[in-house]
Amino acid sequence: MASTLATRQGILTRAGNRLSSILKEAEDLLALDRSTEQAVWKEQAKDMQKRIRKVKTAIETEADKVEDALAKYSSAVDSLDENMPKLTEVLQRTEEHSQAAQEVLDKAHAAITTLQNLQVETEEFSGNEASTLADITEMKLAPIPIPKFKGDIWEKLGHQARNCNEVQSLEQRIQVIRMQKLCQNCGEKDHMATKCPKGACRICGITGHHTSICKKLFSSQESPHEPHQRKTLESLHLPHQSKTSKKTSTKPSIQAKPTSATVNTITSYQKMNEDDKSNMVLHVSNIKDIFLLAGQAQVLNPFTQALEPVHVMLDKGADRSFISNELAQRLRLQDINTKRLTITTFGSQTPMVKTCGVTVLQLWDANGAPHSFTVTRIDTVTKSLQRKRLCIEDKLFICDNNLQLSISPGTTNIRPQILLGCADLFSLLNSGLTPQHVLPSGLQLIPSKLGYLVAGRNEYSSNGNGSDQTITVNT
């Protein structure tokens, strides 16, 4: 046990020395006088931002190693034999080592806080420069057609606000008005509905709300139909069935050979006589070495009226988008349609027919822009997914190139409650304007409106066993 304690002590000492060395090298950066050196900051904003990110990543990485070494060292101390010779002297030395490690960690945490503040200020400088360049660039662009309104709500050129197809439901339109702090009576920004000088609603004649959010407008409309789902190249078409077989067989086919992985089969129940049905397979792997295409968006909490983060999985193999019932209920989403699905769980020969609601979900991307999707409500999109941390080489590459990931590099546990299929996910991907990168570990950085998405297999990690989950969706 004494040899184990000595080994742990050596590891802790080396980790603490490395962290102290990094903190010492960053003393000039941490001691910058931001009030007197703003001129230098403006000239060197990009270079300083890159250095701040690099130093911050190095400190965070070494601080994690010191904390891990300290935890193992403390565990070895707790395992010492009470009858060990000179136990009191040993415990006194271990207390000194632990105290020294804690002091270094306190300095590291203080340095990280300082670097975060520096990072915000340098980003403001670079942002101001970028906005100036953008203004100069816009002067060279061709004239843009000016809409017939002020652009306060969702009305666009060619249609009135009440006939907007992009923001269709009453709840969505009210959300947009609240998010942009608009007058509910006219849609302008400089006043509220109680002080609005404009007239009453053109539909009901009552003041206090805009024509586009009048309840009579929505009560007079027919319930919208679910948009037709696009077929993809990955679709596997089932053989044509004869009219006789359609009359005699009303149950969907069940897979005869279940795999060893957990399988959920969801088959859409169609009352219409269709000659072809497409079969889609959603394959979710839980191997830590594999980074699935997932990002972080924001949704509006109806209780706090604040945006909160949510994990989103992007699956080009799915011809339908899904949301968990838990999230849909929390966001108070109203169903606009229903869909009958036949669900066959693994090991069961009896399919279960279930009616699932279809609703409209609104997400906000990293730039604060809203996106609307038609999604189907199911009990669980997928279970929590585990993934490994990025290696130090990947983190340094991200810092050197000033890249912003959608999900924090330190996040190892994600629980997607939204899955966007092929008909929806491409609206969140950047179309060739932002470069794609390959990290030193072999992982891919996919540019998107949610930030860069990490995908692929980590070549630096050994192949590990993981559980798979396969969901088959027939529509």
Which DSSP string corresponds to 44-92?
THHHHHHHHHHHHHHHHHHHHHHHHHHHHHHHHHHT--TT-TTHHHHHH
Q: Residue 438 and residue 445: Cα distance in Å, rounded?
A: 6
If one counts every other C-beta atom within 10 angstroms of the C-beta of residue 84, the result is 13
Buried b (16+ CB within 10 A) or exposed e, 372-387: bbbbbbbeebbeebeb
Angle subtended by helix axes 2-25 and 87-138, to nearest 10:
30
- One-letter identity of residue 223: S
Nearest to 300 by CA among 224, 398, 371: 371
Tens of pLDDT, residue by residue over 360-382, are 999 999 888 899 999 999 888 87
Report which DSSP code applies to 173: H
Q: Show the tokens assigned to 65.
A: 């190693």
Tens of pLDDT, residue by residue over 51-93, are 888 888 888 888 888 888 888 888 777 777 777 777 777 778 8
Q: Residue 113 and residue 181: Cα distance in Å, rounded?
A: 33
Q: Residue 121 and residue 128: Cα distance in Å, rounded?
A: 11
Q: HSE of 39 in the Cβ direction (CA atoms, 13 Å)?
A: 1
Nearest to 475 by CA among 416, 418, 415, 422: 422
Q: Residue 179 and residue 468: Cα distance in Å, rounded?
A: 40
Residue 219 — φ and ψ, nearest 5°?
A: -70, -25
Element at 370 (helix H, strand E):
strand 370-378
If one counts every other C-beta atom within 10 angstroms of the C-beta of residue 353, the result is 12
Domain ranges of the chain: 2-138, 161-219, 245-474
Q: What is the CA radius of gyration of the chain?
A: 29
- Kindly report the pTM of this predicted structure: 0.42
Q: Show the tokens assigned to 428.
A: 């969140």
Please name the residues in contact with 426: beta carbons below 8 A apart, sequence gap of 6 or more: none
Residue 281 — φ and ψ, nearest 5°?
A: -120, 120
- One-letter identity of residue 24: K
Task: Please report which residue ranges of 79-181 form alpha helices under DSSP H.
Answer: 87-138, 170-179
Residue 125 — φ and ψ, nearest 5°?
A: -65, -50
Q: Quickly list DSSP for 223-261.
A: PPPPPPPPP-TT-EEPPP--HHHHHH--SPP--SS--SS
pLDDT in tens, the chain (475 residues): 566 777 888 888 888 888 888 888 888 877 766 555 555 556 666 777 788 888 888 888 888 888 888 888 887 777 777 777 777 777 788 888 888 888 888 888 888 888 877 777 776 655 554 444 444 444 444 454 444 444 445 544 445 666 666 667 777 777 777 777 788 888 887 777 777 888 888 788 888 888 888 888 777 554 444 443 333 333 333 333 433 333 334 444 434 343 333 334 444 444 433 333 333 334 444 445 566 788 999 998 888 778 889 999 888 877 788 899 999 999 999 999 988 877 654 445 567 778 889 999 999 998 888 999 999 998 888 778 777 778 888 888 888 888 888 888 777 788 889 999 888 888 888 765 678 888 888 888 889 888 898 888 766 554 444 444 444 443 3
